[in-house]
Each structure stands twice: as structure tokens, then as C-alpha cells.
Amino acid sequence: MSKKKIIIIGGGFGGIAAAKMFRGRKDVEVLLIDKRNHHVFQPLLYQVATSSLTPSDIAYPLRSTFKNTLNVRVIMGNVVNVDHDAKKVILKSGLEYPFDYLIIAAGARHSYFGNDEWGKYAFGLKTIKDALTIRERMLFSFERAERAENAEERNKHLTFVIVGGGPTGVEMAGAIAEIARQTMIKDFRQINPKDTRIILVEFAPRLLQVYPESLSERARQDLEKMGVTVWLNKAVTKIEKDLIHFGEESMQTANIIWAAGNQASPLIKVTTQRINRIGQAIVNPDFTILESDSVFCIGDCAEMTDANGVRVPGVAPAAAQAGRYVGKQILGELNGKLRVPFKYTDKGSMATIGKARAVAAVGPFKFTGFVAWLMWSLVHVWYLIDFRSKFFVMYSWMWNFLTQHRSVRLIVTLRDREMQ
Amino acid sequence: MSKKKIIIIGGGFGGIAAAKMFRGRKDVEVLLIDKRNHHVFQPLLYQVATSSLTPSDIAYPLRSTFKNTLNVRVIMGNVVNVDHDAKKVILKSGLEYPFDYLIIAAGARHSYFGNDEWGKYAFGLKTIKDALTIRERMLFSFERAERAENAEERNKHLTFVIVGGGPTGVEMAGAIAEIARQTMIKDFRQINPKDTRIILVEFAPRLLQVYPESLSERARQDLEKMGVTVWLNKAVTKIEKDLIHFGEESMQTANIIWAAGNQASPLIKVTTQRINRIGQAIVNPDFTILESDSVFCIGDCAEMTDANGVRVPGVAPAAAQAGRYVGKQILGELNGKLRVPFKYTDKGSMATIGKARAVAAVGPFKFTGFVAWLMWSLVHVWYLIDFRSKFFVMYSWMWNFLTQHRSVRLIVTLRDREMQ
């Protein structure tokens, strides 16, 4: 019997969970393809963006994860097309790989609702490189404020606008408030904490819309206490260099963080006809796409309503569940079993707001403040991939907690052009 | 009495040592200007380039170093000219700052002996960004080898040529040998340790020319044992994409590290007429330049022969000595004392070759092997700036030593164009 070839595109939570299901199976060989050479623990990406953690704390080479799993091969490559008839994927470099089953877990990028030109001034947070860009621009902005020659220029560099009040926006706003109002200030001679402004802008009437309303309100209160101005029911209408518009109003700022919209990987639209407004594949109850029952699409690049009628959210635990589910269905099928429809298990949601402040909803239970923050810390460290990262992250957090020190404040990768 | 204004250009070992001399002096105010926002512990830069340490282990924000030193102000800026008559420095942004004393400690970049076009294919190692470029290109080269379709392409990506047999070249060659032959290999399916070639090329008849001859020979032997091919008396005549020429011979390689030549900061040649072949200021016995007795030039951008006729080497301890010396002369002058000529104190030289292998020369004593390596480790950890780094670096080294694991293997900052 020839081995079944399984290709997995994307080494995020979904792709890794799927690949691990095939460990040690002699009848299956897996090819994991990713544009990058590492898995990123995305829920902690905002901590890299805000100088608390260093990239290697939350990212790990895919190759190392599977080094002892001989039936999983990892390659770096950019898949640009899928040939359904020939059952193969095509890389940008021209290389082609055949498959029996294909699992697309290619994730999403931020999108600007059709205004791609905003991307030059408003920075999203999906990859390690994104996080470094935000971090270094923010640090450089403080440097510019320090050597500014008038108040207007100084204020522009000390105004931070975060667009989007979901978990990423809330976490970024809280972390920036801590940095700007406490950590950084001591190191500068010309900057006063009162000069910094952090504004979180949300289009809807409340933050954290998928959370219970009481937690949304608590998050807003916590942020305001930390010095963040929260604007609800407010739409961004235009973004230019150092300027953001809300209808008639506008505001000068050199720092705009974009946490408002996503767009699925462009691979989806060349793979399936049935997509939604943000480019996700609208998948069948077993995550297959319209065109093929051997092509699955999971995680942030899929829209899925499960067998209980629950819309599966775009979070890491859901992607991992989907990956394990698809792995199980394929293995079952190889043993002659029929597929069963997916049922999502909601383990709860949590977002951290700042030191000893977080909100969490687990089933009917709600948590806030220090207890929620402790839960959040333990869960996130627990799920980090290897021991070394766990140790380093815990140590960094303890250190930051005790000293208010931010460990990682280097401006390295910005190009000279960006630093005039 | 008005305060004396001292400007220091460059936050390397020389600049920081000078700035620290003025701590707490009420009659002096110091402005430290650097193009970057951080001090780099350059002697360990090769460990960032070879994935053992992460940038924040060996770099530290200048601003944090001086946060409690109220008479030292730090700004990020690029000084492009010095006006001797008006006694002021001019930044690229147009800002100007006046000085009573100026200390130029602006360092050096690598140079390609007039062949600047080689820089596109042969990468030097002076900054954190350089180290990340080398590291990510090297990791990506292994990825290319893994997916190569023929032996020629694979070999090209597994051949590493290091040009220059000084301490940096020797340390890089040893570290690359460890990575390529031990660490990385396990993670790949298509690569055999025997396929990798590491070649260290030196123009002179021996490695580590400023060391005693017996240590040069020992370093060569140690490197050969680790699988490095050492070519002495060999001149690079041309470098092209994936190709390096030595006269009639040539070799295919995607990985060329340039550790062969330096050129002082371009600021020197606009500041003084008396410069040497590599653009260093040829300074007076008190480190002042020809044109002014209030402008000092120290570290890698100066050529200095001390009062004992000893040529001061371009190493971190020498730069720090010069910084302390100049600080002392200025402070003495403010108290009416005459300057005394500089005398260099040689504390010895050491270079590490690999795990438990190093060479060290301290006065008449020579050390090799594990003892030299232990000395090297202790000295380098000791001089790292803050506690946190010391702890992290020791932990990382212990971890690497015990597990052969290289912790930091992310490809993050390479642009898509570079990753075809």
C-alpha cells in the first residue's frame, strides 16, 4: 500500500495541531509548508510589540517542533495555487507537490476595508515582523519627542491611536499605557507623562463584543483608569501621514495601530468559489470546501458554523480544535470510517488589560482584576510550546512585574529612510 | 560659572566610558548622540549572528544606562559635520548643538577595499542588524538546501566562506561549524553533515596575527578538528552572486561572511585632514585631532600610538580606556591641570573557537582549550552591562552547552525579495 500524502499549508495553531495527529503513522506522510520558518504564539504577539518579550520567547522553528517526527517534512515556501484536478499545490518558486488530502490553515492578514493606502501609516499585528515594526516605530517616536523643538511636534509623537476594540486592540492599548505613562517616562528629560495620549477607537457601542456586556464595561473602566481614552461608536474615515480622520474631526498622531479588520489569506480565493466578504472559505460541516472533499480549510481562513449552529470564533484554541478534528477524520477515513460533523467546544475567552488587570469569561462564570490576570498568565504560559520559552517568559514577566522594567527596547530593523 | 558642554558622538565602549566619567559633575553637561538607541556588546555579536543569543542579551538602550545620570542627555541622531570655528556639531536633520569639548567615538564599518559592490553578497558584522542579516540568511540557506532539487544547488547553499582570519573571522567560523555540523543537521531530512563546507580564508600566513604564533597555530588546529578548512596566504579577488574568486580559482557559495577590513566612520574625514588609509584620525598623544585641542577622537575611528610607542589596538577594552582617559583629562583641565599623554595598558587578548575551545594571551602567559574558554566566558559575562543580560546570557550558554540546542532560529526581518 502506498503512503497517503497529506499537505498542510500554514504552521499556525491549526496546522500544527493537524500535523501532530499524524505522528508515527506509517501509512501517511505529511508535508508542512509555511512562508515563515517558525510558529508564532499569536496571543502574546502584542507583548513583543510593546517590548515585554523578545521574538524568540514566543516563536519557535517549525522544523524543531517536528525534528523527531520522521513522517512530517517541513519546507519554507509560498503556496500560490491549488490544482484540484491534478491534486497538487504550486509554490511561487514553481515547485509542485502532489497530495491526497490538503489542509489549508493559512490564516489571515489585517485589512483596511478596501483602503490599502492606510497601511503605510496604520500598522497591523499578525507576524513577528509586524510586532517589531510597531515596537521600533513606537520607541523611535519617543526619541523624536525627546528631541522635538516645539510642543506640537512633541504631542504628535506622544499620541497613540489604536483602532479596533477587540482583544488585540484592548491589550495593545493597556500595554502602551503602561509603557508610555510609567516605564519610558523615567528615561527621558523632555517628556512629561501628562503629554502622552492613548486613544482606543471602536466603531461598535462597546469593547470586546463577543464577551458578556459586564466584562466589556469593566475593560473600558480599567483602561480609563490606566489613562486610556476610549472612544465608542466612532468610525475612522481616512488615514494620512501623521493624521487620522473621524468624519469632520481629525487628530495629529505619528502612531496608529490597526486592530480593526482581517482578510483571509489570498490563497483561499484561488482555491474555492464559496467565500465570504473577508475572503474566508465558507466550509462544509467537516471543514471541506465546496469543490473537493479532500481539501479542508481551517482556522482564520475559514467560516464555519458547527453542528450545534455555533459560529466558530477566530481564536487559537478553535483553530487547534479544528486541526485535531480534521486529522482525526482523515485517519478515520483511511480505516474505512465515515466522517462526523464538527462540534466546537468553547473553553472561554480572556483578555489582559494591564498589570494585574484582565477580564475572562468561562462558561457562565466571569472573572475580572487580579484573578482574571493570574488565570490569563497561567493559561498562556502553559500553552507556550517548549520548556525554554516557558521559563524565559515567566522570568521576563516576573522581572517586569517587579521592576517595571521593559527588557527589550532596541531599535534595530527600521530602515534609515523610516528614521529621518 | 556656566556649565561646560561636552558632546560625545557614539555610544560604544569608548563613548559610554567617557560619559560615565562626568557622572554627578555639576559643572559639566554631557550630550551623548548615537545613530542607534542602544549600546552593543560587540565582542558577542557573532553569537547573535549564529543563533546562540538574542539581540536583547547583548544590547541595551543607552537611555536606560544614563536614566539616573541627570547631567547626561541622550539623543538619537546622525552627526554629519563638525564646525570647528563655531564649535558645534550638525545633524543630518539640520539640528545643531554647541560644545566646549567634543569626543568622537563613532566607530568603524566594514569595508571592501574599494569594492563596495561586494557588499551585496558578502556580509559584515558590526551592528545588531548586521548580525540578524547574517543569521537569517544562513538559516534561509539551510531551508533552500532542504528543498533543493539537485546536488549542485544543495552544495552551494551548504558552503560557508568566511573572509578574514582575525578574532571575528575565527569566532564566526567556529560557531558556524558547530551549527552546521551538529545543531541544524538533526532538523533536516535531505541534508547530510558531510555536505556542509566551512572555509576560513586569510590573506596573511597565519590566523589571529596580533596573537603569539603558537596560539595562531593552535586556533588553526582547533578549527580544522571542528571541520573548518583554513586557507592561509589566499587573497579574495572578486565576489559575485553565489560566487567567490581567488585569482584563477573560484567557488560557488550562497554564504559569504566578510570579516576582513574596516573603514572608520565617514564623520572623521569631514572633521580632520590628518587621516590614515582606512579613514581613522591620526591623533595626538592626548587623542586630540590636528585641527583642535578640544576635539578628541577615540576607539575604532582613531589611530593612536601611545607614550610608550605602542600602537593601541581596535578592541573594546582599549576604547574604554581611551574614553576614561579623555574624561579624566577634560575634568583635570577644568581644575587647571595640564594634560598627560595616554599610556595603554594591555590586559591580554582572547578569542573563542567553539565549545570548550579558545585561545588567550595575557602578558607572557598563553592559554588554550577548556581553560581559555572558561576565562573567555567569565570575562565576557562579567563585562556585560546589566544584571538581567548577565543572567540570560549565562542561562543561554549553559542551555546550549548542555543541549546543543540553538535557541534563536527565527527568520523574521528578511524581505520577500531576498527570499525567492
Position A46 in a domain: no
Residues A175 and A196 in one domain: yes
User: Which pLDDT score, from 0 to 100, does residue B68 have?
Assistant: 86
User: A66 in a domain, yes or no?
Assistant: no
Q: Which three cell numbers, joined as nine digits, stand for A157? A: 509623537
How confident is residue A336, by pLDDT bands cut at 50, 70 and 90?
very high
Q: Which of B36, B56, B95 shows the shortest C-beta gap to A408?
A: B56
Are residues B135 and B256 located together in one domain of the fold? yes
Pair B53, B187 in one domain = no
Residue B107: its pLDDT value, please? 96
| Residue A169 lies inside a defined structural domain of this protein | yes
Which of A29, A136, A171, A303 is catalytic? The answer is: A171
C-alpha closest to that of A158 among A254, A19, A279, A280: A254
Residue B277: Cβ within 10 Å count = 7
Q: Mean pLDDT score of chain A, rounded to an integer?
A: 89
Q: Which residues of chain A neighbour B420 with C-beta distances below 8 Å?
A: 92-93
> Is residue A238 very low, low, confident or very high in pLDDT (cuts 50, 70, 90)?
very high
The residue in chain B having the minimum alpha-carbon distance to the alpha carbon of residue A40 is B410
* Residue B412 domain flag: no
Question: How close is the nearest chain B Cα to the Cα of A168, in Å?
Answer: 21
What cell was used for A415? 530602515
pLDDT for B203-258, tens place per residue?
A: 999 999 989 999 999 999 999 999 999 999 999 999 999 999 999 999 999 999 99
Q: Are residues B169 and B93 in the same domain?
A: no
Residue B403 lies in a domain: no
Quick one: average pLDDT of A265-286?
Answer: 97
- Tell me whether residues A59 and B388 touch, CB distance under 8 A: no
Domain final position from A309, A334, A359: A334
Determine the pLDDT at residue B408.
Answer: 60
Contacts of B120 (CB under 8 A, 6+ apart): B241
* A247 and A157 co-located in one domain: yes
Q: How far apart are CA B23 and CA B230, in angstroms?
A: 47
Instruction: Give residue A1's pLDDT.
Output: 62
Is there a contact between A133 and A125 (Cβ–Cβ < 8 Å)?
no
A367 pLDDT band, cuts 50/70/90, is: very high
Supply the pLDDT for residue A158.
94
- Quote the minimal CA–CA distance from A49 to chain B in Å: 14
Last residue of a domain, one of B210, B243, B260: B260
The rounded distance, in Å, linking the Cα atoms of A373 and A168 is 16
**Mean pLDDT along residues B101-117:** 94
* pLDDT at B404 (0 to 100): 56
Give the pTM.
0.85
For chain B, helix, strand, coil in percent to 5 are 35, 25, 40
Residue A257 has pLDDT above 50, yes or no: yes
Distance from CA of B268 to the nearest CA of A (A): 20
On whether ipTM exceeds 0.90, the answer is: no
| Nearest CB to A37 within list B61, B73, B411 | B411
Check whether residue B180 and residue B67 sit in a common domain: no
Distance CA B28, CA B24 (A): 9
Q: Across the interface, do A132 and B413 touch by the CB < 8 Å criterion?
A: yes
- Note the pLDDT of residue B53: 82
Whole-angstrom distance, CA of residue A340 vs CA of residue A218 = 40
Q: Are A362 and A327 in contact (CB under 8 A)?
A: no
Q: What is the mean pLDDT of residues A133-147?
A: 89
Q: Of A33-47, A285-299, B59-73, B115-129, give the range with the top mean pLDDT.
A: A285-299
Q: What is the pLDDT of residue A420?
A: 45
Nearest-CA neighbor of B72 among B40, B110, B28?
Answer: B28
As a whole number, mean pLDDT of residues B170-178 equals 92
C-alpha cell at B112: 571592501
The per-residue pLDDT for A201 is: 97
Q: Which residues of A touch B55 (CB under 8 A)?
A: 54, 410, 412
- Is B129 within 8 Å of A63 when comparing Cβ atoms? no
pLDDT at position B293 is 96
Are A35 and A80 in contact by the 8 Å Cβ rule? The answer is no
The helix, strand and coil proportions of chain A, stated in percent and rounded to the nearest 5, come to: 35, 25, 40
Identify the pLDDT of residue B67.
85
Above 70 in pLDDT, residue A415? no
Arithmetic mean of pLDDT, A407-414: 64
Distance from the B391 Cα atom to the nearest Cα atom in chain A, whole angstroms: 11
3-state secondary structure of B390: helix
The cell numbers describing A316, all together, are 487559537
Inter-chain contact A413–B129, Cβ cutoff 8 Å? yes
**Is residue A41 included in any domain, yes or no?**
no
A214 and A155 assigned to the same domain:
yes
Q: Using CA atoms, how far apart are residues B104 and B292, in angstroms rounded to an integer? A: 13
Q: Cβ contacts (< 8 Å) between A388 and chain B: which residues? A: 399, 405, 407
- Burial of B414 (C-beta count, 10 Å sphere; 0-12/13-18/19+): middle
A220 and A156, same domain (yes or no): yes
pLDDT digits (tens, 9 = 90+) for B333-370: 999 999 999 999 998 888 989 888 999 998 889 999 99
Residue A54 has what pLDDT? Answer: 83
Shortest CA distance from B403: residue in chain A:
A388
Residue B71: the pLDDT is: 94
Query: Which of B29, B171, B178, B202 is the catalytic position?
Result: B171
Domain boundary among B308, B334, B360: B334
Burial profile B38-66: b = 16 or more Cβ within 10 angstroms, e = fewer: bbbbbbbbbbbbbbbbbbbbbbbbbbbbb
Give B24: exposed, middle or buried? Use CB within 10 Å, 0-12, 13-18, 19+.
exposed
Domain count, chain A: 2
pLDDT, position B47: 87
Residues in chain B closer than 8 A to A399 (CB atoms): 388
CATH of the domain at B184: 3.50.50.100
Residue B420, pLDDT > 50, answer no
Q: Are residues A238 and A291 in the same domain?
A: no
**Among the partner residues B56, B93, B411, nearest to A36 by beta-carbon distance:** B411
Count of alpha carbons within 13 Å of B304, Cβ hemisphere only?
A: 29
Q: Do A411 and B37 touch (CB under 8 A)?
A: yes
A340 is a domain residue: no
Residues A396 and A310 occupy one common structural domain: no
Express each pLDDT in B266-281 by its tens digit.
Answer: 999 999 999 999 999 9
- Give tens-digit pLDDT for A52-77: 888 888 888 898 889 889 899 999 99
Q: Is B171 a catalytic residue?
A: yes
As given in the structure block, the three cell numbers for residue B178 are: 558547530
Compare CB distances from B189 to A73, A93, A411 and report the shortest one's residue.
A73
Q: What is the per-residue burial (b if ≥16 Cβ within 10 Å, else e) of B296-333? A: bbbbbbbbbebeeeeebebbbbbbbbbbbbbbebbbee
A197 near A154, Cβ under 8 Å?
Answer: no
Q: What is the three-class DSSP state of A99?
A: coil
pLDDT of residue B50: 87
Instruction: State the average pLDDT over residues B123-129.
Output: 92
Residue B93: what pLDDT? 87
- Put simply, the answer to whether A409 touches B147 (Cβ < 8 Å) is no
Give the number of C-alpha atoms closer than 13 A to the C-alpha of residue A228, restricted to the C-beta side: 31
Comparing C-alpha atoms, which of B49, B50, B15 is closest to residue B32? B15
Rounded Cα distance, B289 and B182, in Å: 49
Encode pLDDT of B305-319 as tens digits: 999 999 999 999 999
Interface contact B63-A187, CB threshold 8 A: yes
In sequence order, what are the beta bridge partners of B201?
B163, B231
Least confident of A239-243, A307-311, A351-355: A351-355
B36 vs A411: CB contact, 8 Å cut-off? yes
- Residue B22: what pLDDT? 96
Any idea what DSSP says for residue B44? G
Q: Report CB contact under 8 Å: B408, A36.
A: no
CA B156, CA B201: separation in Å to the nearest integer? 17
User: What domain range includes position A157?
Assistant: 116-260+348-407
- In 3D space, the residue among B251, B336, B254, B325 whose CA is nearest the CA of residue B284 turns out to be B325
Please tell me which of the candidates B64, B186, B412 has its beta carbon nearest to residue A67: B186
What's the pLDDT at B77?
92
Per-residue pLDDT, B160: 96
